[in-house]
Structure 1
């Protein structure tokens, strides 16, 4: 259970609050340990009872080869169906406001959401670059996943890969789950491994004009497709894909 603390940090004109959370580590033999951590966040009020929580992702205290994104804010969770409705004023893909499930949208719809949110708040919100997404996912880790070098159903919603048995097919773990059902990483960010793929900004220049980058894997994906550095792509206008998104805001 997350504990919100009344501690504020000034970064530019933003007032960030501090929160405590429990993250996890998994050994190469599958033993999970849990640790208390602290992060910083900002709530963007979409209406009186709906907020979009952004978490501080920072490389300032991390050993990183990427110095172009020292600090930024990124969604604590993928955008939910309820948050989508509050900004877009329409349901998406059979959305249900009673659930905290991530919305599924094509890349164009995700970009429209960012544009509308930016206009509503008077501040730029956008999709993360692949570099930003990976920084947020790793949270300083050097392992395949933010939690370690293996992944288990205690840490993420992903497909069970039976290829090592010679069967050569996958069975699913769970259908798409509500956000926040698994431990966050060391920044306090949830659901970066599995459940749904997430859109990122296109590369410049884009060698594949009909495709856009995706990260994180989905509920049907084998574990290796859910890793911090795994890169995939989908057709950007196609609907019905298991892909959503989270937003980024610069400091």
Structure 2
């Protein structure tokens, strides 16, 4: 209790800006042997999580608090900043096995990706409330996105191009004095799976109680439901074991990676984004409310031209010990 009080007091007092850099990708020109999908090494998240929220204005994490962060701790560095959750370091097998129902070409070969340090991920997809806070503060290039007449508020920000997402990240990073960014494609799959190897973090099949999707098309002998009529607010449904909401379905989310048709020996294995290939397109993850569940699987990959309008979730690199 005494340690928690000291940390909260340090947080309230403010913090010095920290210069953060992305990890460089170590590439191998050799063809990697295909691993089995059973070898997951994700440490169990901390049993008791802590929250470090800005009381008002902007309050970046102090170096002491940042270095003390544990998996499932959360923080907000300004009143209207996204809530961030600490994801554990570890490794996982990226891609889908040939036995997975409705697996597509491009989701192979299976390969191990390792994360040497924990990192922080937005608990939710960026909402229109958060996007509109950027607009009100003179950021986001005045781009209002496109709510498609579904509404704004806690609904996910939609109609956001790759460049527009970066304008939000630039505003947020400048406001807080810390580096916020898009996830890499491997980070996105890692935190969607949250230590699991099934198509969805909750199992091998899905229903409309789990995910917002076109439930009229059943998946893997699962139940047939009613097609969704539109996006759901960002805190709908249950969070996954990492504490993240709606990593499957609802809206497509941008990643930083350029388009590549399938994984190769050049695919980064350290969690860095793949910045080679067709960079007129970038990879999307997560699925969407009006498509079938097979497109919402953890390993499903899609792509879009960078001018397309989608949604996104933010990531923050942490200055913590490996």
TM-score by length of 2: 0.60
Is residue 132 of structure 2 the alignment partner of residue 102 of structure 1? no
| Structure possessing the higher radius of gyration over alpha carbons | 2
Q: Indicate the structure with greater strand content.
A: 1
Contact preservation (8 Å) 1:15, 1:42: no
Q: Which moved more, 1:127-136 or 1:51-60?
A: 51-60
Is 1:127 paired with 2:182?
yes
* CA apart distance, 1:59: 3.1
2:265 is matched with which residue?
none
Structure 1, unmatched stretches of 5+, are 19-37, 165-169
Q: Tell me, what secondary structure is at the counterpart of 1:201?
A: strand
- State the Cα deviation string for residues 220-250 of structure 1 (Å, max 9, x = none): 12111101111100111134xxx20010001
- Extract structure 1 runs of 4+ deviating beyond 3 A: 4-8, 10-13, 15-18, 62-65, 94-98, 161-164, 203-206
Aligned equivalent of 2:66? 14
Residue 306 of structure 2 is aligned with which of 236, 239, 244?
Answer: 236
> 1:56 — aligned with what?
86
Q: CA RMSD in A?
A: 3.0
Distance in 2 between residues matched to 1:97 and 1:172, nearest whole Å:
19
Measure the CA separation in 2 of the matches of 1:84 and 1:175: 19
Q: Name 1:29's counterpart in structure 2.
A: none
Structure-2 change in CA distance of 1:171 and 1:209 (3 Å): farther
SS class of match (1:199): strand
1-structure distance, mates of 2:186, 2:116: 8
Alignment of 1:131-146 (within 5 A): 131-146=186-201
Q: CA deviation at 1:96?
A: 8.8
**TM-score normalised per structure 1:** 0.76
The match for 1:75 among 122, 127, 135 is 122
Contact 1:54–1:73 (Cα < 8 Å) also in 2: yes
Contact 1:106 1:236 in 2 (8 A): yes
Count of residues paired in the alignment: 217
User: Where does structure 2 lack aligned partners over 5 or more consecutive residues?
Assistant: 1-47, 53-61, 94-111, 137-141, 220-224, 259-273
Counterparts of 2:236 and 2:295, CA distance in 1: 20
Aligned CA distance change for structure 1 residues 189 and 205 (closer, same or farther; 3 Å): closer
Post-superposition offset of 1:52: 1.6
Judged with a 3 Å threshold, the aligned counterparts in structure 2 of structure 1 residues 149 and 112 are, in CA distance, closer, same or farther, namely same
